[in-house]
Amino acid sequence: MTARRTGAASAAALLALGLALAALGVDASLGADARDEVRRHEADASALEAQRVRALREGEASGRAAARVIAGTLPLAGAVDELEPLLRQRTGFECAWTDEPFPTFRHRVARYVVIRVAAELKHDPDRRAAVLARLDAEYATLR
């Protein structure tokens, strides 16, 4: 048998309203410098959230491309075509693998795809070896 607490919802609503009013009162009492600092922090938080969302979308796109490359329905060059525009906009991507010279940005993107595929197949060593051998051959012909 469940007990019903008739005032619980009302108490929670009153508490939320009280907190909101208190927050408004605090905001009203802040000086101009403090309000500007709050706005700067809000702008920073907004920029970080946009970066987080962009990183999630890039990860999802590269995961979908890697799955199709593994399945053999998308060649390495096709995956590069799909991911290159996204990765060109990723800050710092051009600095990835500084110890490995790449003839073109496309080759850098291809390396990224190969690494993603290898990570996806780490628990299936036989399939991983076969797919990576195929990708090595495709990489050799990449322009």
pLDDT, tens digit, 9 for 90 and up, residues 55-65? 899 899 999 99
The answer, as to whether pTM is greater than 0.75, is no
3-state secondary structure of 36: helix
Between the alpha carbon of residue 72 and those of residues 12, 17, 69, 92, the distances in Å are 55, 57, 5, 30
Percent of the chain whose predicted confidence (pLDDT) is above 70: 79
Burial class (CB in 10 A: 0-12, 13-18, 19+), 69: buried
Angle, CA of 96, 128 and 115, to the nearest 5°: 5
72-101 mean pLDDT: 90
Q: Which of 52-61, 63-72, 88-97 is least confident?
A: 88-97
pLDDT at 7 over 60: no
pLDDT for the residue numbered 33: 74
